[in-house]
Structure 1
Amino acid sequence: MKKKITLLLFSVILSSFAQSKLDLSYYLPKNVTYNKNIPTPKSVIGHEVGEWHITHDKLIYYMKTLAKVSDRIVIEERGKTYEDRPLILLKITSAKNHNRLEHIRKKHIELTDNSTVDVSNLPVVVYQGFSIHGNEASGSNAALIAAYYLAAAQGNQIDDLLKNTVILFDPSLNPDGLQRFSYWANSNKSKNINADPNDREYTEVWPRGRTNHYWFDMNRDWLPVQLPESKVRIKTFHEWLPNVLTDHHEMGSNSTFFFQPGIQSRTHPLTPKLNQELTKEIAKYHAKALDKMGSLYYSEENFDDFYYGKGSTFPDINGGIGILFEQGSSRGHAQETDNGILTFPFTIRNQFTATLSTLEAANKMRVKLLNYQQNFYKNSKSFEKDKAIIFGDEKDAAKAYKLAEVLHRHKVKVHKLKNDFKEGNIRFKKNSSYAVPLNQKNVRLINAMFDVRKSFQDSLFYDVSAWTFNHAFGVDFLKDVSLSKVGDEIKKPVLQEGNIDFKSEVGYLMPWNEYYAPKVLNSILNKGLRAKVAMKTFINGKNTYDYGTIFIPVQNQELNSKELFEFLSERAKDSHLNIFGVNTGLNDGIDLGSNNFRNIKKQKVAVLVGNGISPSDAGEIWHLFDQRFDMRITKLDVSNFKRTDLSKYSTIIIPNVSSLDNIVDSKLKEWTINGGILIGYKNASRWLSNKKFIKLEFSSKKPLIAKKIKFEDRRLFSGAQVIGGAIFKASLDRSHPVNFGYKNNSIALFRNSTLFIKADKNSFNNPIRYTNEPLLSGYISKANLEQLKETVPFKASQLGRGKVLVFTDNTNFRAFWFGTNKLLMNAVFFGDKM
């Protein structure tokens, strides 16, 4: 009976909501007049805010309309997404400030360089960004209301705000994801809004709208800066160095509203304590505004400020205050929750309210925030040393360049080396190494990017606990280097063009060390040319060649010697690597006609996608092939697997999975037995083991017994056993094909799983193996660390005429783990030789 009454009440509320006239008065502050010459959102987009989910095209159209009619707004188009949607920014301030906006920007940057600049009359800079997760849509919908308010509101209060504030307003941090989700929510909306959580409206189809085109979580890319959306955002950030940056999100429907500071014991130690104190002071403004409406909220729980790659944390290492907002999500237009019916307009109103409370706080705390920023950079000088860090790879200039490029995007000064030099067994060469002096403005950011941390105040993390960039990019690294080794500053890093030294009538050798070597090999094979891979090392003339060197013979090719030379010359140039002609097939070691040069097959690769597959892991693989190596990869949806002809594929990759249909099992096994190369990641390795594709022995840990743990702390106890993301050292057998192209005998691997595979008793079956002291950076419990030691993150096995290869770790993590990308490429091109 109680359930029936509750459902009846829900129906009444929904009926009232559907029939009542939703208009701007629901959202806007009372007792404020508005300029009638400024168009309302409805007059432009055709519906009231909250009636439908805003599509990205309409959102942009409204922002451009405002910019045309308001002297408070100028609009900048900064770039395009992968799906060719514009990435815009509104600069909002008073008309008088707009007339000297560039002067204000330069003066603002000057205060960070000069501690004597008087900040008392300078505007505060606030960056407000909305819905970086596209299906957390209340943010971008609230941006419509906020932009209207800032353009149309009249009176002393708004005049004072705009006089003292420059607002960098980003209405959609993720255009592609927002468009994907708005389509879903709108196309499943009923005339009679149904708040039943089981309705299709509230259950998006895979991969959902959280992510961008390649299914990346862009709120993890503020520090690595690998995606086009991030690149323009970070450019704006460093051009302005905002005092406050807000990041509007959504969370589970049964939650209320969250604002920071979050759990302060999980704040990164490099963040000044005053940062958290100012965040708490700003929080009082949010609380006051939400109390006025009667909206429930919480603050110092759940979320943290540890990983600097998030929008709410990145400002903290750059002299600003980052603030995360999380609104309980309606996930559509209205939904039954523990707190009653949660309507889409209500979520929008909370986000809008927090937008205004942020601006009020920034305005009233203006001088305090400017002083904090000025002192942040003044105090950064205490972190400076008359030293430099150096990184590079003598055999792979591209990886080092990619790291230098990221530093350059963050306004970190990068220099050449004065000369080549050697440190221990590592050689740093001028053309493939970079120096970063520590006596520069952004030294705290540099320290954060290369941070190594193994002890922590807290054992739980909202995101990863380590991201050390030299490990991620797989480069040789040296710290505390004398500035005497540092050469001239590089204004903009440039990757040198590759070439071929001469035209040969015998053949060409391409070392496999360079990052873009797989791209060239793929184009060679697609051209119908023959290529072979060296299974052993050798010397030809004066050059020493390592395992994995690619040999392209001149004879019996589809192209004549001249055409082959021209084709390879173009590929070398485009891919920034060197290919070497040879005069003789006689080598010191294996000769060019040896059977130890194995033929390489043309690859046609597919990756499983769809329900049961991790979208982010699949997207990283898709992006790697499509964007980095210009390789076609077919996305096979598991829902169509029964009808798919697998015979055309040489390699199939299974990303991290939660479940797979039995049809997938039987078809994949038949395909593999007939000669396919099957590659599985993370939980796919357990699935493949359970389905008898490969025999793996997993290390099972002893159950932990909680002693003196309170009931309220039980989740903290279990959560501490999770590897949320840390970096570990493994030894390499470089003669094994999975390790071709690596010059060092060890590698840094990123790991965020507790899958531990026991090593084989035969050492040659353990080409990658965690060391006895594997932890390089990040958090891992003592129990997990003991289990991890001497286990293996990779296994290869025969199945019929095919091969099954598994990785327990993600070699493509967030597109910035350049150092391990080649492991997957090796599995693709050389899997049949393992």
Structure 2
Amino acid sequence: MTKFLLSVFLISVTFLTAQNLKSPSEFLWYELGTQFTRHHEVVDYYEYLAEMDMARVKLIEYGQTNERRPLLLAFVSTAENIQNLDTIREEHLKSTKGESDANKSIVWLSYNVHGNESVSTEASMKTIYDLLTSKSSYLENTVVIIDPCVNPDGRDRYINWYNQNKNTPFQIDPNSKEHHEGWLSGRSNHYMFDLNRDWAWLTQVESQQRLKVYNKWLPHVHVDFHEQGVNDPYYFAPAAEPYHEVITNFQRDFQKTIGKNHAKYFDANGWFYFTKERFDLFYPSYGDTYPTYNGGIGMTYEQGGSGRAGLGVIIGNGDTLTLSDRIAHHHTTGLSTIEVASKNVDKLNMEFKKFYRTKNFRYKSYVLNGNADNIKALEELLGKHEIVFGRATNGTVKGYHYQSGTTSSLKTDEKTLVVSTNQPKGTMVKVLFEPNAKLSDSLTYDITAWSLPYAYGLDAMATSTIVNTAQTAITANNYKLNPSYAFVTDWDSMTDAKFLSDLLKNDIQVRTSYSPFALEGKNYQRGSLIITKSDNEEHKDFLNTLSTISKKHSKDLSSVSSGFVDSGKDFGSSYVQMIKKPKVAILSGGPTSTLRFGEVWHFFEKQLQYPLTVIDEKYANRIDMDEYDVLILPGGSYSSYFDEDKLKNLKEWVQNGGKLIAMGGAIDGIDGENGFGIEKKENKKETSETSLMPYENAQRERMKNAITGAIFKVKIDNTHPLAYGYDSQYFTLKLGNEAFKYLDNGNVAYLESNSKPIAGFAGSEAQKNIQKSLVFGAEGFGRGQVIYMVDNPLFRGFWENGKLFFANALFMVN
């Protein structure tokens, strides 16, 4: 068959298929918008389209969620384009090397990253149907990639809850229960993580699996469909300031082009909308910024509704907002986006190619020394982003030194990690590694600092020249262990914490030293792990089990023939204590934040891999807490939770030997005279005459008291068990202005006088209030311990250097 005849045949088949395709309403047996569609039904419809129109729809399963729901991508285009899909992709990616003759636009539409923003997936079905029928002309020069549901676990959680609690027919009164979702909302994924904050950090399986495919396509346009408050009109591009400085003029201008096209349709329908407000392009881990920093036009679209809206609800102006209304709006912007892309193919390809030209960034290389496990963890993250890195050679480099904030020198060797901006992902490297991102406006939607050298606790240098790298050979470790008096290893990373967790779960007895010591030619720091043969005599397979666990975690163990140390404390000293295998519980529900709870839950199950008992606040008073050694209170709002009886019971439990870990807002519930004694620092207000200002300036004035995710250098008392494995300083990510006074003793991490942010925004009044304040601390209470974590070391799972503090709180503090 000739190429011409093949084209005629494909066109004929396409026309006949389109005529026979069922709409979502016809397929589902109910009018779209009158019910919520469960995830398996959505999957059924996409599979139906792929089967009925296999020439124009290619459906792949790119992964599964924690709850085993499939994650799908639908590739939609003309039959000819689908037939040549790999060729189109390969030609497009040549643009990152400046070699492409690509003539197609690539548009990626992501729906329902927040599960209870449920209209998105419904709109996706209407959008793909119209692309295959009435709007098929858009596909001639465009490949559309549709992810119908980024967060199936959260979406089904919301829909199942709604169907169980709604009236029949649905009730539009906003006071009805169906408009008041409970604590465990559908917004987040299984582990209660916000997937729209995880694009850069990749802590969640959904993000990890999605990015593998995303990096194979790097679309010209990416849209993240959301919902906001029920009374808000629709939001679409262009975004608000601040824009990160790496965003190009074209990326800014094309957002306006798309926005104006949307406005044309919204104006014709009399629909309200707003632009250039609230949703900025700065924090790198969003579904709009991450694609933008990879050369695309990344955008957030926000429909009013979310979990409050249900199938219909009365809004503030007296109108009724229905699910059908919400579908219409997202459907319109989705098709409008594809329309604009199809009309600007040449421009999109030309500018995408320009984006990947080598840029003259101020810093050309980022050079990092430090803990080998932390460097390895950072390399794993970079590998997932397909960011190229290497190891240095012996020498010295000069540049901006992160730890001192000055220009100085740094020695390098084969263990030194080097990440250069001279690579296709160079813009992403700058955004993730730069010491302090330039902020054009203090009014931001999220945190303003995230620099990876601080997050991973590495000694870093940013250089204005490219630092050469060399291949380094990796030496295999020998994990066959011979009988010995004891085995000793270091304690300074999350790898060590995972290793200890595995040992304890396998009933291997482990000791730790509260004092530095030297033995058989090696120096060991506080917290070093000591595994003696005599402690484990009753373990039937001690050496084989220890060898297996060591190999699993790539841990080198030093075999020692005696517990008689050269300096420090002998192994029989009271300074060398057995590490208890703690039974740990965490409070959930009510006063806790779902996000803060989820961070701890995920830390235990997916990182530390240590058992955790979840106790809901509804029945917590019926639990015998004497069964547990540790109780974690994750961040939240506890001001009204701890009544006199609850606080009394909690204090008695600690006095009897319990260990309490209070994080963030939980400290508010246990402070003061009736609590555990920790005192809040109150922001002193000026007593001078009232300052008058225009109403429109009030929001900016309030920013003086705000800290929007800024990095501060703090002092560390690394002789305390809570800080084992740390140096004398630590960089903390401070998320708010709340501050607590120093403890009488046990101030482990703290801000000194004149502390200023190393990176990110902190208002002038907020800075005053946090001077000489606690970050992490521990104090004895009876026979127990209270550990305070004012800042969150587990925030979004990406602040790698904070996680050892949490492990220390579990295992080292007694």
TM-score between the two structures when normalised by the length of structure 2: 0.91
SS of corresponding position for 2:701: helix
Counterpart for residue 558 of structure 2: 580
Counterpart for residue 404 of structure 1: 379
Counterpart for residue 505 of structure 2: 526
Residues in 2 aligned to 1:422 and 1:271: alpha-carbon distance in whole angstroms: 29
2:713 is the alignment partner of 1:734: no
Pairing partner for 1:322 from 298, 303, 310: 298
Residues in 2 aligned to 1:595 and 1:369: alpha-carbon distance in whole angstroms: 69
Count of residue pairs brought into register by the alignment = 780
The superposition leaves residues 781-828 of structure 1 with CA deviations (integer Å, 9 ceiling, x where unpaired) of 122223323322122222222111111100001111111001011011
C-alpha contact (below 8 Å) 1:260/1:323 kept by paired residues: yes
Q: CA deviation at 1:536?
A: 0.7
Residues in 2 aligned to 1:36 and 1:666: alpha-carbon distance in whole angstroms: 71
Counterpart for residue 11 of structure 1: none
- Which range moves more in the overlay, 592-601 or 170-179? 592-601
Pairing partner for 1:207 from 177, 184, 192: 184
2:325 is the alignment partner of 1:338: no
SS of corresponding position for 1:594: coil
SS of corresponding position for 2:280: coil
Counterpart for residue 456 of structure 1: 439
2:266 is the alignment partner of 1:290: yes
Counterpart for residue 637 of structure 1: 616
Matches within 5 A, 1:594-613: 594-613=573-592
Pairing partner for 1:242 from 219, 225, 231: 219
Counterpart for residue 401 of structure 2: none
C-alpha contact (below 8 Å) 1:607/1:652 kept by paired residues: yes
The one-letter code sitting in structure 2 at the alignment partner of 1:700 is E
Alpha carbons of structure 1 residues 575 and 489: separation in structure 2 relative to 1, 3 Å: closer
Q: CA deviation at 1:42?
A: 3.2
2:159 is the alignment partner of 1:182: yes
Counterpart for residue 129 of structure 1: 110
Alpha carbons of structure 1 residues 117 and 794: separation in structure 2 relative to 1, 3 Å: closer
Alpha carbons of structure 1 residues 488 and 709: separation in structure 2 relative to 1, 3 Å: farther
C-alpha contact (below 8 Å) 2:671/2:680 kept by paired residues: no
Alpha carbons of structure 1 residues 44 and 578: separation in structure 2 relative to 1, 3 Å: farther
C-alpha contact (below 8 Å) 2:512/2:527 kept by paired residues: yes
Alpha carbons of structure 1 residues 420 and 816: separation in structure 2 relative to 1, 3 Å: farther
Alpha carbons of structure 1 residues 720 and 149: separation in structure 2 relative to 1, 3 Å: farther
Residues in 1 aligned to 2:93 and 2:337: alpha-carbon distance in whole angstroms: 22
The one-letter code sitting in structure 1 at the alignment partner of 2:379 is A
Counterpart for residue 463 of structure 2: 480
2:526 is the alignment partner of 1:547: yes
Residues in 2 aligned to 1:375 and 1:524: alpha-carbon distance in whole angstroms: 52
Residues in 2 aligned to 1:382 and 1:633: alpha-carbon distance in whole angstroms: 49
C-alpha contact (below 8 Å) 1:389/1:481 kept by paired residues: no
C-alpha contact (below 8 Å) 1:52/1:186 kept by paired residues: no
Residues in 2 aligned to 1:830 and 1:140: alpha-carbon distance in whole angstroms: 47
Residues in 1 aligned to 2:226 and 2:670: alpha-carbon distance in whole angstroms: 37
The superposition leaves residues 93-130 of structure 1 with CA deviations (integer Å, 9 ceiling, x where unpaired) of 1101111111111111112311x6445xx111101000
Counterpart for residue 348 of structure 1: 327
Q: CA deviation at 1:388?
A: 2.8
Alpha carbons of structure 1 residues 388 and 246: separation in structure 2 relative to 1, 3 Å: same
Counterpart for residue 517 of structure 1: 496
Alpha carbons of structure 1 residues 446 and 436: separation in structure 2 relative to 1, 3 Å: same
Q: Percent identity?
A: 29
The superposition leaves residues 28-55 of structure 1 with CA deviations (integer Å, 9 ceiling, x where unpaired) of xxxx999342122234333222121111
C-alpha contact (below 8 Å) 2:747/2:778 kept by paired residues: no
C-alpha contact (below 8 Å) 2:711/2:734 kept by paired residues: yes
Counterpart for residue 244 of structure 2: 268
The one-letter code sitting in structure 1 at the alignment partner of 2:85 is L
C-alpha contact (below 8 Å) 1:73/1:90 kept by paired residues: yes
Runs (5+) with no aligned partner, structure 2: 1-14, 399-407
Q: CA deviation at 1:254?
A: 0.8
- Which range moves more in the overlay, 100-109 or 562-571? 562-571
Pairing partner for 2:598 from 601, 616, 619: 619
Counterpart for residue 6 of structure 1: none
Residues in 1 aligned to 2:43 and 2:155: alpha-carbon distance in whole angstroms: 12
- Which range moves more in the overlay, 662-671 or 360-369? 662-671
SS of corresponding position for 1:768: strand
Q: CA deviation at 1:351?
A: 0.7
Pairing partner for 2:57 from 55, 60, 73: 73
C-alpha contact (below 8 Å) 2:750/2:772 kept by paired residues: yes
Q: CA deviation at 1:292?
A: 2.1
Matches within 5 A, 1:366-381: 366-378=345-357, 380-381=358-359
Alpha carbons of structure 1 residues 681 and 498: separation in structure 2 relative to 1, 3 Å: farther
The one-letter code sitting in structure 1 at the alignment partner of 2:631 is I
The one-letter code sitting in structure 1 at the alignment partner of 2:144 is I
Alpha carbons of structure 1 residues 642 and 765: separation in structure 2 relative to 1, 3 Å: closer
Q: CA deviation at 1:381?
A: 3.0
SS of corresponding position for 1:212: coil
Matches within 5 A, 1:805-820: 805-820=787-802
The one-letter code sitting in structure 1 at the alignment partner of 2:140 is K
Residues in 2 aligned to 1:573 and 1:105: alpha-carbon distance in whole angstroms: 40
Matches within 5 A, 1:100-119: 100-114=84-98, 117-119=100-102
Counterpart for residue 798 of structure 1: 780
Q: CA deviation at 1:197?
A: 1.0
Alpha carbons of structure 1 residues 558 and 352: separation in structure 2 relative to 1, 3 Å: farther
Residues in 1 aligned to 2:721 and 2:328: alpha-carbon distance in whole angstroms: 57
Q: CA deviation at 1:335?
A: 0.7
Residues in 2 aligned to 1:611 and 1:577: alpha-carbon distance in whole angstroms: 41
Residues in 1 aligned to 2:193 and 2:110: alpha-carbon distance in whole angstroms: 18
- Which range moves more in the overlay, 459-468 or 235-244? 235-244
C-alpha contact (below 8 Å) 1:608/1:654 kept by paired residues: yes
Residues in 2 aligned to 1:352 and 1:831: alpha-carbon distance in whole angstroms: 55
C-alpha contact (below 8 Å) 2:396/2:409 kept by paired residues: no
C-alpha contact (below 8 Å) 2:116/2:155 kept by paired residues: yes
Q: CA deviation at 1:240?
A: 1.2
Residues in 1 aligned to 2:159 and 2:58: alpha-carbon distance in whole angstroms: 26
Q: CA deviation at 1:220?
A: 0.6
2:87 is the alignment partner of 1:87: no
The one-letter code sitting in structure 2 at the alignment partner of 1:255 is D
2:570 is the alignment partner of 1:591: yes
Matches within 5 A, 1:653-668: 653-659=632-638, 660-662=641-643, 664-668=646-650
Alpha carbons of structure 1 residues 322 and 391: separation in structure 2 relative to 1, 3 Å: same
The superposition leaves residues 673-695 of structure 1 with CA deviations (integer Å, 9 ceiling, x where unpaired) of 21100010111112111473321
Alpha carbons of structure 1 residues 757 and 455: separation in structure 2 relative to 1, 3 Å: farther
- Which range moves more in the overlay, 215-224 or 590-599? 590-599
The superposition leaves residues 559-591 of structure 1 with CA deviations (integer Å, 9 ceiling, x where unpaired) of 46x832211111111122222211111212211
SS of corresponding position for 1:185: helix
Alpha carbons of structure 1 residues 499 and 50: separation in structure 2 relative to 1, 3 Å: farther
C-alpha contact (below 8 Å) 2:397/2:463 kept by paired residues: no
C-alpha contact (below 8 Å) 2:69/2:153 kept by paired residues: yes
The one-letter code sitting in structure 2 at the alignment partner of 1:697 is E
Pairing partner for 2:418 from 431, 435, 438: 435
Q: CA deviation at 1:750?
A: 0.9
Alpha carbons of structure 1 residues 350 and 497: separation in structure 2 relative to 1, 3 Å: farther
Pairing partner for 1:279 from 241, 255, 258: 255
Residues in 2 aligned to 1:313 and 1:422: alpha-carbon distance in whole angstroms: 32
Pairing partner for 1:311 from 269, 287, 295: 287
C-alpha contact (below 8 Å) 1:614/1:656 kept by paired residues: yes
C-alpha contact (below 8 Å) 2:605/2:611 kept by paired residues: yes
SS of corresponding position for 1:324: strand
SS of corresponding position for 2:292: helix
The one-letter code sitting in structure 1 at the alignment partner of 2:501 is N
Q: CA deviation at 1:336?
A: 1.0
C-alpha contact (below 8 Å) 1:244/1:321 kept by paired residues: yes
Alpha carbons of structure 1 residues 720 and 310: separation in structure 2 relative to 1, 3 Å: farther
The one-letter code sitting in structure 2 at the alignment partner of 1:323 is M
The superposition leaves residues 43-90 of structure 1 with CA deviations (integer Å, 9 ceiling, x where unpaired) of 433322212111111111111111111121101111111111111111
SS of corresponding position for 2:768: helix
SS of corresponding position for 1:521: helix
Counterpart for residue 99 of structure 1: 83
